[in-house]
Amino acid sequence: MIKVQSKITSVTHLGDDYAVVELHCPQVAPLCKPGHFVNIRCDKVLLRRPIAVLDVEGEVIKFFIQKTGEGTRWITSRKPGDILDIVGPLGKGLFETNNAKRVILVAGGVGLAPLYYYLSDAKKYNIETLLFYGARTAGRIFFQHELMKLADRCVFVTEDGTMGKKGRVTDELKRFYFESGAGSADMIMACGPKFMLREVVAFADSEDVPCQVSLESYMGCGAGVCLSCVIPAKKHEHEAEVYIKLCTDGPVLDSKLIDNTFFEE
């Protein structure tokens, strides 16, 4: 974990609600792996904002950011040449293939970011990858051409049917798995909204497929001290309540470690 001042090299706005921000950060970039995030200090905002790494090219780190609040809007309103105060890379729980040969990835919305990074990395290891990427409408599906080059197969799903399959990405995952004759995987990886993750985890459990999920929360310190990011862990009968610190134990976790109540909140 390194605290450093990094210069913005590019800000690309993707419509009104999303942007890709690139930072020149030679100290942190070589240390990044799929699943890592950085904490970015924002002007007039108390807590740093945790942002997942989208990709790394040489000494440049890329971030895919949804403009959801004051902090992320401040970051995405910066200009090339501006300096950001960042801490990273953060997170110990990362996407690990564990010798998998075939991996299914399920992305929802901005949850694509860590999975995009994994896809970029997986190319080096000859891992077969199938990506299911869902959003509400075609205007919320990004990086289509890049993803089709990175993944062995891409299935795009929109709720309104304006791009790819119509419906929910989890329904398309199940249909493909059972009906296409391709019903096997060594690992499922997912990142997206809770309702999507709940369905993915239940499906992985039913098929006895190992599943890793990348979760998000406010991570004020990124070091496990402030406890702003704790989530409930599964416990056995008569055990005391157990919690997981997403910033230090995650953000990527084995789905079997997570109490199901987390996905119901």
Query: pLDDT digits over 161-212, tens only?
Result: 999 999 999 999 999 888 765 567 889 999 999 999 999 999 999 999 999 9
Cα(250)–Cα(36) distance, integer angstroms: 9
Q: What is the CA radius of gyration of the chain?
A: 18
Low-confidence ranges of the chain (pLDDT < 70): 180-183, 235-241, 265
Torsion 245-250-251-252 (CA) sign: negative
Calculate ∠ Cα 16-59-116, nearest 5°.
50
Full-model pTM: 0.93
Cα(118)–Cα(114) distance, integer angstroms: 6
Q: In the 3-class helix/strand/coil scheme, how is 213-241 assigned residue by residue?
A: EECCCCCCCCCCCCCCCEEEECCCCCCCC
Query: By C-alpha distance, which of 186, 212, 249, 32 is closest to 121?
Result: 32
> What structural domains and CATH numbers belong to the chain?
2-90 (2.40.30.10), 102-264 (3.40.50.80)
